[in-house]
Chain A
Amino acid sequence: MILKDPAKDSIKDPFVPLTIPGALEKNRNGDQKSLLGNQKNLLKGEKASLKNQENSLRMEVKNLDAWYSSGQVLERINLPIFENEILALIGPSGCGKSTFLRCLNRLNDLIKSFRLQGQIKLDDFDIYDPGIDLAILRRKVGMVFQHPNPFPMSIFDNVAFGVREINRRIKRTELAEIVEESLRQASLWDEVKDKLNVSGLSLSGGQQQRLCIARALAVRPEIIMLDEPCSSLDPVSTAHIEELLLMLRADYTIIIVTHNLAQARRISHRMAFFLSGRLIEHGNTAEMSIRPQCEETENYLCGRFG
Chain B
Amino acid sequence: MENTNRKSVEIKKIRGVLPSSEALFSSTKSQARWYRIQEKIIENMLLLATIISSTAIFFIILFVAKEALSSLKHNGLAFFIAGGWDQHIQEAWFSETPKWDFGALPLILGTFLTTGGALLLTFVLGTGCAIFLAELAPDAIRRPVEAMVRLLAGIPSVIFGLIGLMVVVPFIMDNFISNELALKFIAVAPLDGQSLLAGVIVLTFMVLPFYVTVATDAIRAVPKPYKEASLALGVTQWRSVTKVLIPVAIPGIVTGMILASARAVGEAIALSMVSGGMAFIPDPSHGLVFFLEPVRVMASAIIDNKEAMSVKAIESALFGVGTILLFISILLSLTARLVFSWYQKQVMAK
Binding site for B on A (CB under 8 A): 105, 107, 110, 112, 134-140, 142-143, 145, 147, 149-152, 154, 161-162, 165-166, 198-199, 201-202, 212, 215-216, 219
Contact = CB atoms under 8 A, between A and B. Distances in A.
Given A151-B244, A199-B349, A202-B350, A145 B236 contact: no
B226 interface: yes
Given A198-B350, A199-B347, A201-B348, A149 B235 contact: no
Nearest to B346: A199
A219 B233 contact: yes
Given A165-B239, A202-B349, A202-B350, A145 B233 contact: no
B235 A135 contact: yes
B228 A145 contact: yes
15 contacts: A107-B228, A112-B138, A138-B231, A147-B225, A149-B226, A149-B228, A152-B247, A154-B350, A161-B235, A165-B243, A199-B349, A199-B350, A202-B349, A216-B232, A219-B233
B284 interface: no
Given A112-B138, A161-B243, A199-B349, A215 B233 contact: yes
Given A112-B138, A147-B225, A149-B225, A142 B232 contact: yes
Contacts of B223: 149
B157 to A, nearest CB: 38
B232 A105 contact: yes
A135 B234 contact: yes
Task: Categorize the interface residue count of chain B.
Answer: 20 to 34
Q: Is the interface of A mostly helix, strand, loop or mixed?
A: helix
Interface string B126-166: 00000000000011000000000000000000000000000
Interface in B97-118: none
Contact of A166 (B138, B229, B234, B347): B234
A139 B233 CA distance: 6
B248 interface: yes
Interface of B: 138-139, 223, 225-236, 239, 243-244, 247-248, 347-350
Contacts of A152: 226, 247-248, 347-348
Of the candidates A112, A147, A150, A151, the one having the most CB atoms from chain B within 10 angstroms of its own CB is: A151
Of the candidates B229, B347, B348, B350, the one having the most CB atoms from chain A within 10 angstroms of its own CB is: B229
A137 B139 CA distance: 27
B347 A149 contact: no
Closest 8 CB pairs of A and B: A139-B234, A149-B225, A162-B233, A143-B232, A199-B350, A138-B234, A152-B347, A165-B235
Nearest to B233: A162
Contacts of B233: 138-139, 142, 161-162, 165, 215-216, 219
Contacts of B230: 151, 161
Contacts of A166: 234
A151 B348 contact: no
A198 B350 CA distance: 6
Nearest to A106: B231
A293 B38 CA distance: 74
Given A112-B139, A199-B350, A202-B350, A136 B228 contact: no
A110 B229 CA distance: 12
Contacts of A149: 223, 225-226, 228-229
Given A165-B239, A202-B349, A151 B229 contact: yes
Contacts of B229: 145, 149-151, 212, 215
Given A199-B348, A201-B348, A135 B228 contact: no
B245 to A, nearest CB: 11
A174 to B, nearest CB: 18
A79 to B, nearest CB: 20
B274 to A, nearest CB: 42
Nearest to A150: B229
Contacts of A107: 228, 231-232
A215 B233 CA distance: 8
B137 to A, nearest CB: 11
A76 to B, nearest CB: 26
Nearest to A137: B234
A12 B191 CA distance: 78
Contacts of B244: 151, 161
Nearest to B138: A112
A112 B233 CA distance: 21
Given A198-B350, A199-B348, A199-B350, A219 B234 contact: yes
Contacts of A110: 227-228, 231
Given A149-B225, A151-B244, 15 more contacts: A107-B228, A107-B231, A110-B228, A110-B231, A112-B138, A135-B236, A136-B234, A142-B232, A145-B229, A149-B223, A151-B230, A152-B226, A162-B235, A165-B243, A201-B347
A51 B233 CA distance: 24
B165 to A, nearest CB: 44
Contacts of B226: 149, 151-152
A75 to B, nearest CB: 25
